[in-house]
C-alpha cells in the first residue's frame, strides 16, 4: 500500500507558511513501515485539486491519499466540494461537530450567531465517508473510498487538530488494515498539562522511546490530557504502561465515559447528581453514554440558594456562614442529593464559573466537588480553574466523573 500526502492552501504552496503536517505524517508512517510515494503542496484551486486527486487515483496499486487543509468554512476551503464532485454524491452532517459549533456560537453570541449558518458548512462530510472526529477543533475529517484501489483521508490543516485526529483515529485504522504488528495504547492523565507531561515523562524516557521507535501523541483537554503510543513490539508497550503507572499512579484512566459506565454496571451501582455552577453538564456527560438509565435516575440543578434550601435541605445557616461556594455547602448538597434519589453514589458541585462572583476570599474559578457513597461521610475536592466559563464548566464536570470513577476503582479494586 502506497501513501501520498497533500498539504493544501495558498499560504503553503506560495511558501508564506511552513508545512509541518506533511513531514510529521511522512516520518511517522515511514517509521511504522508504510511506503510514502510522494509529498506535495497544492494551492486552494478547485480544478487543480480535482485534477491532482484524479491523477493519483489512476494507479492500479492500492493507495491512500492523505490531505490536510481545506475543511474550514471559508470560500477557499474546497476539499469537501471537490470530493463530492468526484464521487457525485451527497453530504451528511456530523452531529458532534455541529453541536459543538452551535454551543460555542451561542456562548459568544452577537456576530457569531449571525455567522453560524455559514460556519456550519465545515461540519459536513461526504455521505459514503467515515468520520474522523476532531477532538481539538470543529471541522471533522473523513475517510472515503474513491474507487477500488484508491481512498482519500481528509484532515484539518491546523497542526494540533490534525495530529490528534491522525494519531487517535486514522493511524489505528491504517495499522489495523495493513496487518502490521503494531500495538496501540491510549489513556487519560488527570490534573496534568501537556508541558508537564512532556517534561516529566517524555523527556525522562526519551532514550527508551527513541530506541524503540515509539510513536507518541498528546492532546490537551480541560483538566486532563489524552495520550497515545504506538509500537511494533507488545512487550515495549507493556513496559511503557508500567512506566506510566509508576509516574501517574492514581491519576491515569482509560476514556472516562465508557470506563465509568462499565464500573457502575459491573458493580450494580447507581449515581445521582446535584449541580450548581455546571448547570446540568455532568448529567449530560453521564447520559451521553447509551444505557446510562441503568444507573442514573436523575439530576437536580439548584442554581439559587433558595433551591438549595428547598430541594436539597441545605441549611440557611450554613449558606449565611460560609457562602454558597464552600466545602460545607457542597457536603450538604451531596447529602441532600443522595437522600432525594436514594442512589449508591451522589455527586454535587458548587463554584464560581465567572466572569462575576469573585470575592476577597473566593477567587474566580473556585469549585468544590463532593461525592458520597451510601451512608459514609462525603469526600470534598477543591480546585481553582480561572480559565473562562466554558472551560470551567467542562473541567469541573470531567473532574467530577473522574473522582467518582477513582473512588469506585479503589473501593471495588478494579
Compute the distance between CA of residue 131 and CA of residue 168 in angstroms, rounded to an integer: 13
Residue 299 has pLDDT above 80, yes or no: yes
Mean pLDDT of 40-65: 93
With a cut of 70, say whether residue 180 has pLDDT above it.
Answer: no
310, pLDDT greater than 80: yes
SS (H, E, C) 212-264: CCCEEEEEEECCEEEEEEEECCHHHHHHHHHHHHHHHCCCEECCHHHHHHHHH
Percent of the chain with pLDDT over 70: 99
Find, among 18, 141, 17, 4, the residue nearest to 79 by Cα. 141
Q: What distance in Å separates the CA atoms of residue 185 and residue 242, rounded to the nearest whole number? A: 12
The torsion region of residue 223 among left (phi > 0), alpha (psi -120 to 50) and beta comes to left
pLDDT (tens digit, 9 = 90+) per residue, 150-173? 999 999 999 989 999 999 999 989
Q: Helix, strand or coil for residue 387? A: coil
Domains of the chain: 2-178 (3.40.980.10), 183-253 (3.30.70.600), 256-412 (3.90.950.20)
How would residue 255 be classed by pLDDT, with cut points 50, 70 and 90? confident
* pLDDT of 78 strictly over 70: yes
Using the predicted structure, report yes or no on whether residue 32 has a pLDDT greater than 80.
no
> Would you state the pLDDT for residue 108?
81
Higher pLDDT, 252 or 387: 252
Residue 111: is its pLDDT beyond 70?
yes
Helices 79-87/46-56 angle, 10° precision: 60
Q: pLDDT digit string (tens) for 349-383?
A: 999 998 888 887 889 999 999 999 999 999 999 99
Q: What does the pLDDT read at residue 246?
A: 94
Residue 328 has pLDDT above 90, yes or no: yes
Q: How many CA atoms lie within 13 A of 368 on its CB side?
A: 20
Written as one string, the DSSP assignment of 107-158 is: HH-THHHHHHHHHGGGGEEETTPEEE--SSSS--EEEEEEETTEEEEEE-SS
Mean pLDDT along residues 34-54 = 93
CA atoms within 13 A on the CB side of 17: 18
Half-sphere exposure of 329 toward its Cβ, with a 13 Å CA cutoff?
29
Find the mean pLDDT for residues 325-353. Answer: 97
Dihedral sign for Cα atoms in the order 140, 146, 149, 152: negative
Q: How many CB atoms lie within 10 A of CB 288?
A: 11
pLDDT, residue 33, reads 72
Per-residue confidence (pLDDT) for residue 318, from 0 to 100: 97
Q: Is the dihedral of CA 33, 37, 40, 44 positive or negative?
A: negative
Express as a percent the part of the chain with pLDDT over 90: 70
Asked if 43 contacts 75 with a C-beta cutoff of 8 angstroms, the reply is no
Q: What is the pLDDT of residue 339?
A: 96
Q: Beta strand pairing status for 252-253 and 271-275?
A: unpaired
The grid coordinates of residue 114 equal 449571525
Indicate whether 256 pLDDT > 80.
yes
Q: Please name the residue that has the C-alpha cell 464536570.
A: 397
Give the integer Cα–Cα distance in Å for 321 and 328: 9
Does residue 392 or residue 1 have the better pLDDT?
A: 392
CA-CA distance, 141 to 163, in Å (whole number)?
A: 12
Element (H, E) at 47: helix 46-56
State the chain's mean pLDDT as an integer. Answer: 92
Amino acid at each position: 500500500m502506497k501513501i501520498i500526502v497533500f498539504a493544501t492552501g495558498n499560504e503553503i504552496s506560495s511558501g508564506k507558511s511552513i508545512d509541518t503536517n506533511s513531514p510529521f505524517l511522512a516520518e511517522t508512517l515511514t517509521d511504522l513501515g508504510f511506503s510514502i510515494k510522494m509529498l506535495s503542496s497544492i494551492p486552494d484551486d478547485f480544478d487543480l485539486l480535482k485534477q491532482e486527486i484524479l491523477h493519483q487515483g489512476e494507479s492500479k496499486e492500492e493507495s491512500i491519499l492523505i490531505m490536510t487543509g481545506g475543511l474550514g468554512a471559508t470560500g477557499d476551503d474546497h476539499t469537501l466540494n471537490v470530493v463530492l464532485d468526484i464521487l457525485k454524491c451527497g453530504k451528511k452532517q456530523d452531529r458532534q461537530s455541529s453541536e459543538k459549533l452551535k454551543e460555542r456560537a451561542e456562548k459568544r453570541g452577537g456576530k457569531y450567531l449571525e455567522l453560524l449558518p455559514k460556519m456550519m458548512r465545515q461540519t459536513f462530510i461526504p455521505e459514503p465517508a467515515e468520520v474522523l472526529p476532531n477532538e481539538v477543533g470543529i471541522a471533522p475529517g473523513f475517510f472515503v473510498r474513491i474507487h477500488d484501489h484508491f481512498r482519500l483521508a481528509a484532515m484539518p490543516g491546523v497542526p494540533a487538530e490534525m495530529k490528534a485526529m491522525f494519531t487517535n483515529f486514522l493511524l489505528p485504522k491504517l495499522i489495523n488494515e495493513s496487518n502490521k504488528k503494531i500495538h496501540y495504547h491510549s489513556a487519560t492523565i488527570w490534573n496534568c498539562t501537556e508541558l508537564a507531561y512532556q517534561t516529566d515523562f517524555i523527556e525522562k524516557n526519551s532514550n527508551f522511546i527513541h530506541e524503540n521507535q515509539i510513536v507518541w501523541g498528546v492532546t490537551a483537554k480541560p483538566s486532563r490530557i489524552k495520550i497515545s503510543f504506538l509500537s511494533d513490539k507488545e512487550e515495549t508497550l507493556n513496559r511503557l504502561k508500567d512506566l506510566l503507572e509508576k509516574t501517574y499512579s492514581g491519576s491515569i484512566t482509560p476514556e472516562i465515559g465508557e470506563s465509568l459506565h462499565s464500573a457502575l454496571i459491573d458493580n450494580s451501582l447507581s449515581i445521582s447528581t446535584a449541580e450548581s455552577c455546571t448547570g446540568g453538564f455532568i448529567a449530560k456527560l453521564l447520559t451521553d453514554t447509551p444505557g446510562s438509565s441503568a444507573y442514573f435516575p436523575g439530576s437536580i440543578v439548584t442554581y439559587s440558594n433558595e433551591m438549595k434550601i428547598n430541594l436539597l435541605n441545605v441549611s440557611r445557616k450554613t449558606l449565611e456562614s460560609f457562602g454558597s461556594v464552600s466545602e460545607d455547602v457542597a457536603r450538604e448538597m451531596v447529602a441532600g442529593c443522595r437522600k432525594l434519589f436514594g442512589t449508591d453514589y451522589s455527586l454535587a458541585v458548587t463554584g464560581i464559573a465567572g466572569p462575576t462572583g469573585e470575592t476577597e476570599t473566593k477567587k474566580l474559578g473556585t469549585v468544590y466537588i463532593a461525592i458520597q457513597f451510601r451512608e459514609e461521610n462525603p469526600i470534598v475536592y477543591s480546585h481553582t480553574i480561572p480559565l473562562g466559563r466554558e472551560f470551567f464548566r467542562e473541567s469541573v464536570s470531567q473532574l467530577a466523573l473522574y473522582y467518582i470513577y477513582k473512588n469506585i476503582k479503589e473501593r471495588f479494586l478494579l
